[in-house]
């Protein structure tokens, strides 16, 4: 048979095989479904169910040890807050939960358990006549079980085959929302799962909230202490500390230490709520870059008034005041969140927008939880407990953004500083180069002026003296006389060259030796001119002068004597070298000539000699005083001895 003829028969055989396997799979699936459904139905059939929940007030004066009343029981629905039924009541309320236990005595019956959301404020729980749990204190100061979920395994020995009763004794007051929360009765695994869920939101997350808040608060407090100008950080630290105290109300499950009553604890917590909201407002305003002086003063005045009212009022006014403070400050908290959101949308700053996102989360949580506390909505979980991670993320981003911006500013500043330093270095190099060139030019000019002054005062005076000698001589001068004049000019020129080439003649041993050459050169000339000259010197130098100072005095005296020869027409000349104090020398040159106007001559073109003498005295650290009138001229040159260790070049 060809291969193609076998294909239809093979196809028919394989098709029947698939139908067989498909039917078997359907049968196995139905069997498993029936098994699971039967198990679930059996578990549901054996699950306990509550018949009724009733409540009754204890008789007046009855203590925690008194049995529950027999009459007066009223049906209630859990969760129950007795303020709606018995306004203003404070004392003990009994709750009776009757329930049925199916499948009693069966070996496969599950372990039963019961979970309680809360009971407020304190209480005790019993199963039939067996005590399951009791708070540490059922009298003032009451234990604080209002936010503590509890779970109990129901012992089989304490259970009845049919109807069983859970007795719940609650001690509290209508001011504190006292009552009994939800009760989950069933298999132990379900009760434990419900308890764990409730404990996460009622105990764990609030504790995490507090830890995060105090951590951020301490961190921002340190930042504020290090940078006092960051006022917003200081207000945030204060608000975090206030929130820590206020929110501790959710985690305190023992006695309200150190207070002796629940009312005192309530006053304490309410006062910290007022402080928290006030600090939060200040933080939001300062962080947004806003200052409201009048509004801030009004805020703190209202806070002081609210705290005083809470601290001083007694019941029942305290209940009304506490409720009013809660409502007003909740609205204030919401209002400042809305205001900051609008502020952030206006500024468009990144840090403002981040905090505005956090503020929106605060706003949603505050509205939800306020409505839940006021019994407007019925919800098992508050949203406030999840705001701690939100604020942590938000503030972390804000800090990271601020740090990044600061780092960028520092980097930008460093770049700008480097550019400015490079520019300053270039400018300084150019300036130093210009100053160096100017200094070189100034040195050259100074040297030229110094040479000019020396030529004028030294060689010039010698030329004047020689010319005057020739003019005043009545007879022709002989060759030795001309030769003497030329040698004198040569000596003056050599002295000028030695002075400007770095060499310096030694200082004469005595003033007499110093004046002798000059007295010799000018003495004969003065005799021929008919001028009587008087030379007065001490036996020794009054103080030790440097070679430079002695040379300066020499040039000054030469110029002064040359001026006497050229201009004074004097008949008498007096040259004196005297001591000037303890460390100074006074050189005085006086004549009885025609005099001159010192100011006019010094400022004229022909006053080069006077200006040269003034400049020369300034260079050697001395002073020159010139007095001239019709009776003659007096020059007084004063020089102080150089200080030890100072340069004398």
Calpha distance 641→620 (Å, rounded): 10
544 near 641, Cβ under 8 Å? yes
The owner of tokens 């394989």 is: 14
Closest by CA to 249, choosing from 360, 180, 134, 326, is 326
Calpha distance 58→110 (Å, rounded): 35
Q: Using one digit for the tens of pLDDT, what is the confidence trace for 603-639?
A: 555 566 677 788 888 888 899 998 888 888 999 999 9
The yes-or-no verdict on residue 219 having pLDDT over 60 is yes
The listed range with the strongest mean pLDDT (133-142, 328-337, 439-448) is 328-337
Closest by CA to 121, choosing from 110, 131, 103, 135, is 135
590 near 574, Cβ under 8 Å? yes
Residues in CB range of 197: below 8 A, 6 or more apart: none
Calpha distance 403→469 (Å, rounded): 92
Calpha distance 437→442 (Å, rounded): 8
Q: Which pLDDT value is given to residue 304?
A: 96
Q: Which pLDDT value is given to residue 437?
A: 85
Range name among 428-442, 479-493, 506-520, 571-585 with the lowest pLDDT average: 479-493
Q: Which pLDDT value is given to residue 475?
A: 62
Bigger pLDDT: 32 vs 94: 94
Q: Which pLDDT value is given to residue 478?
A: 66
Average pLDDT for 469-495: 65
Q: Which pLDDT value is given to residue 484?
A: 61
The yes-or-no verdict on residue 644 having pLDDT over 60 is no
**Is 102 buried (19+), middle (13-18) or exposed (0-12) by CB count in 10 A?**
middle
The yes-or-no verdict on residue 74 having pLDDT over 80 is yes
Using CA of residue 368, residue 374, residue 379, residue 383, what is the dihedral sign? positive
The average confidence (pLDDT) of the chain is 81
The yes-or-no verdict on residue 172 having pLDDT over 80 is yes
C-beta neighbour count of 153 within 10 angstroms: 13
Using 50, 70 and 90 to split pLDDT, how confident is the model at 645?
very low
Average pLDDT for 499-519: 75
The listed range with the strongest mean pLDDT (255-269, 281-295, 517-531) is 281-295
Closest by CA to 290, choosing from 349, 354, 366, is 349
Calpha distance 136→122 (Å, rounded): 8
Instruction: Tell me if residue 55 falls in helix, strand or coil.
Output: strand
Q: Using one digit for the tens of pLDDT, what is the confidence trace for 297-315?
A: 999 999 999 999 999 998 8
**How many C-alpha atoms does 638 have within 13 Å on its Cβ side?**
9
Average pLDDT for 216-236: 87
Q: Using one digit for the tens of pLDDT, what is the confidence trace for 332-382?
A: 999 999 999 999 999 998 888 888 988 888 888 888 888 888 778 777 677
**Is 433 buried (19+), middle (13-18) or exposed (0-12) by CB count in 10 A?**
exposed
Residues in CB range of 212: below 8 A, 6 or more apart: 388, 389, 391, 392
DSSP sequence for 316-369: THHHHHHHHHHHHHHHHHHHHHHHHHHHHHHH--HHHHHHHHHHHHHHHHHHHH
Which tokens sit at 46? 């054996």
Q: Which pLDDT value is given to residue 333?
A: 94
Omega prior to 316 cis, within 30 of 0 = yes
Q: Using one digit for the tens of pLDDT, what is the confidence trace for 584-605?
A: 899 999 998 887 776 666 555 5
Calpha distance 108→45 (Å, rounded): 12
């Amino acid at each position: 048979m060809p291969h193609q003829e076998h294909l239809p028969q093979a196809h028919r055989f394989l098709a029947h095989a698939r139908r067989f396997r498909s039917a078997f799979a359907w049968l196995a699936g139905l069997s498993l479904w029936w098994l699971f459904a039967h198990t679930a139905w059996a578990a549901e059939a054996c699950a306990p169910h509550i018949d009724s929940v009733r409540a009754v007030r204890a008789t007046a004066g009855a203590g925690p040890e008194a049995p529950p009343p027999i009459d007066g029981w009223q049906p209630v629905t859990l969760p129950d807050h007795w303020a709606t039924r018995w306004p203003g009541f404070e004392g003990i309320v009994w709750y009776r939960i009757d329930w049925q236990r199916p499948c009693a005595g069966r070996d496969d019956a599950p372990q039963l358990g019961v979970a309680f959301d809360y009971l407020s404020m304190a209480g005790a729980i019993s199963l039939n006549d067996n005590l399951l749990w009791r708070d540490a204190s059922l009298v003032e100061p009451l234990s604080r079980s209002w936010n503590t979920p509890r779970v109990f395994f129901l012992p089989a020995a304490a259970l009845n085959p049919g109807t069983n009763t859970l007795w719940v004794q609650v001690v509290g007051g209508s001011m504190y929302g006292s009552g009994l929360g939800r009760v989950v009765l069933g298999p132990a695994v379900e009760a434990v799962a419900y308890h764990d869920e409730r404990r996460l939101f009622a105990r764990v997350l609030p504790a995490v909230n507090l830890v995060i808040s105090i951590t951020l608060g301490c961190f921002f407090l340190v930042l504020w202490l290090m940078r006092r100008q960051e006022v917003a950080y200081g207000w945030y630290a204060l608000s975090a500390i206030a929130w820590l105290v206020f929110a501790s109300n959710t985690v305190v499950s023992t006695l309200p230490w150190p207070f002796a009553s629940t009312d005192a604890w309530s006053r304490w917590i309410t006062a910290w709520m007022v402080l928290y909201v006030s600090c939060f407002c200040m933080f939001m305003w300062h962080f947004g870059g806003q200052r409201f002086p009048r509004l801030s003063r009004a805020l703190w005045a209202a806070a002081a008034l609210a705290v005083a009212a809470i601290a001083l009022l007694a019941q029942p006014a305290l209940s009304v005041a506490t409720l009013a403070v809660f409502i007003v400050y909740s609205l204030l908290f919401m209002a400042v969140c809305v205001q900051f959101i609008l502020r952030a949308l206006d500024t468009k700053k990144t840090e403002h927008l981040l905090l505005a996102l956090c503020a929106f989360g605060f706003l949603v949580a505050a509205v939800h939880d306020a409505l839940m506390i006021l019994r407007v909505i019925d919800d098992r979980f508050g949203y406030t407990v999840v705001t701690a991670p939100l604020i942590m993320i938000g503030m972390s981003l804000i800090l990271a953004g601020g740090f990044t911006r600061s780092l960028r500013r520092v980097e930008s500043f460093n770049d700008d500083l480097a550019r400015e330093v490079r520019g300053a270095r270039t400018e300084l190099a150019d300036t130093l180069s210009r100053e160096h060139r100017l200094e070189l030019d100034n040195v050259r000019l100074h040297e030229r002026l110094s040479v000019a002054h020396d030529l004028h005062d030294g060689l010039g005076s010698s030329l004047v003296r020689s010319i005057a000698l020739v003019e005043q001589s009545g007879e022709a001068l002989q060759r030795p006389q001309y030769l003497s004049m030329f040698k004198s000019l040569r000596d003056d020129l050599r002295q000028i060259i030695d002075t400007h080439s770095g060499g310096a003649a030694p200082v004469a041993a005595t003033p007499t030796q110093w004046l002798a050459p000059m007295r010799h050169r000018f003495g004969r000339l003065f005799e021929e001119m008919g001028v009587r000259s008087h030379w007065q010197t001490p036996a020794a130098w009054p103080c030790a002068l440097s070679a430079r100072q002695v040379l300066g005095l020499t040039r000054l005296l030469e110029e002064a004597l040359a001026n006497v020869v050229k201009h004074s027409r004097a008949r008498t000349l007096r040259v004196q070298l005297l001591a000037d104090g303890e460390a100074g020398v006074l050189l005085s040159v006086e004549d009885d000539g025609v005099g001159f106007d010192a100011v006019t001559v010094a400022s004229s073109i022909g006053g080069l000699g006077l200006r040269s003498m003034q400049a020369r005295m300034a260079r050697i650290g001395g002073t020159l005083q010139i007095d001239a009138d019709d009776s003659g001229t007096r020059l007084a040159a004063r020089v102080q001895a150089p200080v030890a260790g100072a340069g004398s070049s």
